[in-house]
Structure 1
Amino acid sequence: MKSNQTRRQFIRSSALTGTLPFLSSHFDFGGEWPGQYNPVQPEMAAEMKSIIGSYGPWAASLQRQGALSFRNDRWKPEQLARWKKEALTKTRELVAAPPQPATPSVRVDRTFEYDGLQIEELTWQLPYGRPTKAVVLKPKGVTGRLPAILALHDHGGKKYFGYRKIVKTGDDQHPLLTEHQLEDYEGRAWANEIARKGYVVLVHDTFTFGSRRVLYQDVEGLNYGVLNTKDKTDADPEKTEHIEAYNQWAAEHEHVLSKSLFCAGTTWPGVFLSEDQVALSILCARSDVDPQRVGCGGLSGGGLRTVYLAGLDSRIKCCVCVGFMTTWDDLTLHKSFTHTWMTYTPLLSRYLDFPELLGLRVPLPTMVQNNNQDELYTLPEMQTADKILAGVFKKAGAADRYSGRFYDGAHKFDKTMQTDAFDWFDRWLKGK
């Protein structure tokens, strides 16, 4: 990806995007679903194009086992608790999150008011890496315990920034952040917007973003050229050209980091999960938060983090996953190239389809927001994912606690979507 391209421009410029046929309309796996492996006839595979060529149908067929899918007939509705126990155990095993550290002490670096909000800038130190920076926002002058939101920032190809992508704490916002919020959030800092509605909102930098990013000077054994000298010698690392150079370097470094995590016995989703759970513990422990009324949500990379956090941690009582929902088939055959290495947990697709990871939280309230022209997924597979989640919640007797919504437009979390998301949080965390 060129440094002067946005993620969206890069994807739109790809000749592959939107040109591939869909597996579900071209191939019948046969047998009962989830069936056993069915070999694909070579002459049939040759007619079915994918991003991995004629190997696509065969690769997709390997996923059709689904022993831990709640939709599988082996699981009866009355076995919900048993199913959740088995499915969560296997998912946690494969996600392989690092050991959960003790909740760290939190330092309040600054407290101030801006735009009707009381804001705290926080720092905490995990057992590894540089200190985590975060911000808490809540309405000015409120007292007592409030419902809370763990707001999860996006990826967006912008690792230099973390929590700052979805908040605004002053009039001197960096122009790249202003541009990002205009493009993806219709000009809003959505964490500010929901805080104003009566929530305590915590937004933190997560692994490899913002204060948690990998710094050039900490890396050895690689040579990415002149980019290695940026950020070392310049007195102003927040120059636009230096930020864009860093984001390009970080994109090129991502596959290296992901491979190293696999070799270390963990996964990128696992590290996200661990760090997000620490932030969740910090949020729930606050004296101004009702820990029984805590939600989470986010766009894109924030939607990915929502899938894993909300799916695996029942402290999240309500969630909204925005712009990150499809099937493993979609990623196998059509769209893995549009996604970060942060998405993948090896072997998990043998047991659960991707939407079923979020379905692990059933019957807790869950909303998924999709964009019909989202460049990161195919619309038929987004629709399939919606049917999968709706089926899981219906089978569990909780159909009213799932809402899947579709909006016209590309990858975004615009004002209309924000309004629907905030209303969903109000319904389940405020009883409205």
Structure 2
Amino acid sequence: MNTEHIAKYYTSIPGLADRFNRTAGQWGFQAASLEEYEAWKTSTRARLGELIGMTRMDMCDLRPELLESVQQENYRREKWLIQVEPDVWMPFYLLMPDGLQPGEKRPCMIAAHGHGTGGKLSPAGRTDIPALREPIAGAHLDYGVSFVQRGYIVLCPDARGFGERRESSGQGDEESVFLGSTCNQLNMMAISLGLSLTGMWTWDLTRLLDYIGTRQEIAQERIGCCGLSGGGLQTLWLAALDERVSCAVVSGYFYGYKDALLNLYNCSCNYVPRLWEAVDMGDIAALIAPRALLIETGDQDPLNGERGVDNVREQVEITAGAYRLTGAEDRFAHHIFAGGHVWNGGQTYKFVDRWLNE
């Protein structure tokens, strides 16, 4: 053997877990009245916007550009490009259902992608690309297509670090990098500038909402957002910080930070300096009340952490408190299904139809 066996390791994670127990959740939801809730919501949104770096982002003209248009069965898939910060560009697919009448306005869904999806390609159902067929089929990743086929106008954007927005450390056409991301490179650089990848993703989606506001075909009061995994992260933060989102579906991304992101290491895009001192996921979701929110959980999803669904239910109960306080219990649902880290959709389309399309 060319190395020396180490019989005992002196690790630091237990000490960080102890620090978590002593310091976490200082801005958590604890309101006992509507007045307290509104005050907490206002102050917490401002604090979180500062924490993730939203307040440091630079506004610019969108300069939308149509790059291509392809007719699909029952809808048209357009590829667009908008400027989200000066010389920072976001490509996205716009899925437009057939049969839209002059002057008609349709509800809209933003379909945010997660990891291992090729970015916007999976929600947009690009099974014509061989590398995507198995991921799309295995985890039901083409939820953007499911919504457009139900008559919604759908936008499927590339998040920073994915698809056409991969940085130098992950560019290329090999399948492993094509499906991968450059989250680590981006978040390391962002943190050093007082930003975060979470904040940049959220900012970009607020700019997509700005673009949606220019589309006459979209009913501006009926805008939703959905996503699996990293798409759930994007959906959670966008809906929490921007009230233009009327309905949110968070799939495979709702659990307590300690179990799921401290004891169980995940992608660097999940980590924001000092976030855990401030809030947990249930507190972030509490900012969405009284707007419609569905959380979807696989009972065998390994990302729930070692305590499984119990770790999820604790956070759901925090959020449920905000919905009870605002008298909007019927607008909040938690669907637990038998399965792993996949988009299930068992209650999703009925739920979204109720709050966006009826």
Query: What TM-score results when the alignment is normalised by the length of structure 2?
Result: 0.88
Q: Is the contact between residue 295 and residue 334 of structure 2 (CA under 8 Å) also seen in structure 1?
A: yes
Letter in 1 for 2:335: R
Q: Report the counterpart of residue 59 of structure 1 in structure 2.
A: 19
In structure 2, which of residues 223, 231, 234 is the aligned counterpart of residue 305 of structure 1?
234
Report the secondary structure of 1:418's partner residue: coil
Higher normalized strand content (fraction of residues): 2
Residue 178 of structure 1 pairs with residue 121 of structure 2: no
Residue 400 of structure 1 pairs with residue 330 of structure 2: yes
In structure 2, which of residues 156, 161, 179 is the aligned counterpart of residue 203 of structure 1?
156
Report the secondary structure of 2:94's partner residue: strand
In structure 1, which of residues 56, 59, 70 is the aligned counterpart of residue 29 of structure 2?
70
Residue 364 of structure 1 pairs with residue 324 of structure 2: no
CA distance in 2, matches of 1:60, 1:138: 46
Letter in 2 for 1:427: R
Q: Report the counterpart of residue 119 of structure 1 in structure 2.
A: 77
Q: Is the contact between residue 325 and residue 382 of structure 1 (CA under 8 Å) also seen in structure 2?
A: yes
Q: Report the counterpart of residue 191 of structure 2 in structure 1.
A: 262
Q: Is the contact between residue 17 and residue 258 of structure 2 (CA under 8 Å) also seen in structure 1?
A: no
Letter in 2 for 1:70: F
> 1:322-348, CA deviations, whole angstroms, 9 ceiling, x for partnerless residues?
00001122235522x1x2111122212
Q: Report the counterpart of residue 213 of structure 1 in structure 2.
A: 166
Report the secondary structure of 2:110's partner residue: strand
In structure 2, which of residues 169, 172, 176 is the aligned counterpart of residue 244 of structure 1?
176
Q: Which residues of structure 2 form unaligned runs of 5+?
A: 1-10
Query: 4+ residue runs of structure 1 moved beyond 6 angstroms?
Result: none
Q: Report the counterpart of residue 93 of structure 2 in structure 1.
A: 135
How far off is 1:131 after superposition? 3.8
Report the secondary structure of 1:62's partner residue: helix
Letter in 1 for 2:37: L
Residue 381 of structure 1 pairs with residue 338 of structure 2: no
CA distance in 2, matches of 1:245, 1:139: 32
Alignment of 1:277-296 (within 5 A): 277-296=206-225
Q: Return closer, same or farther for 1:52/1:411 CA change in 2, 3 Å cut-off.
A: farther
CA RMSD of aligned residues (A): 2.2
Query: What TM-score results when the alignment is normalised by the length of structure 1?
Result: 0.74
Q: Report the counterpart of residue 251 of structure 2 in structure 1.
A: 322
Q: Return closer, same or farther for 1:246/1:299 CA change in 2, 3 Å cut-off.
A: closer
Q: Return closer, same or farther for 1:52/1:395 CA change in 2, 3 Å cut-off.
A: farther
> 1:404-431, CA deviations, whole angstroms, 9 ceiling, x for partnerless residues?
1111111001xxx324111111111122
Alignment of 1:8-47 (within 5 A): none
Q: Report the counterpart of residue 8 of structure 1 in structure 2.
A: none
How far off is 1:52 after superposition? 5.1
Report the secondary structure of 2:57's partner residue: coil
CA distance in 2, matches of 1:140, 1:411: 32
Q: Report the counterpart of residue 38 of structure 2 in structure 1.
A: 81
Size of the aligned set, in residue pairs, is 342
Q: Return closer, same or farther for 1:115/1:392 CA change in 2, 3 Å cut-off.
A: same
How far off is 1:375 after superposition? 1.0
How far off is 1:200 after superposition? 0.5
Q: Return closer, same or farther for 1:331/1:63 CA change in 2, 3 Å cut-off.
A: farther
Q: Is the contact between residue 88 and residue 312 of structure 1 (CA under 8 Å) also seen in structure 2?
A: yes
Q: Report the counterpart of residue 421 of structure 1 in structure 2.
A: 348
Q: Return closer, same or farther for 1:101/1:150 CA change in 2, 3 Å cut-off.
A: same
Identity %: 23
Q: Return closer, same or farther for 1:371/1:263 CA change in 2, 3 Å cut-off.
A: same
Letter in 2 for 1:269: T
Letter in 1 for 2:331: R
Q: Considering only CA atoms, is the larger Rg found in Structure 1 or Structure 2?
A: 1
CA distance in 1, matches of 2:279, 2:18: 18
Report the secondary structure of 2:282's partner residue: helix
CA distance in 2, matches of 1:261, 1:137: 31
Q: Is the contact between residue 95 and residue 155 of structure 2 (CA under 8 Å) also seen in structure 1?
A: yes
Q: Report the counterpart of residue 94 of structure 1 in structure 2.
A: 51
Residue 331 of structure 1 pairs with residue 291 of structure 2: no
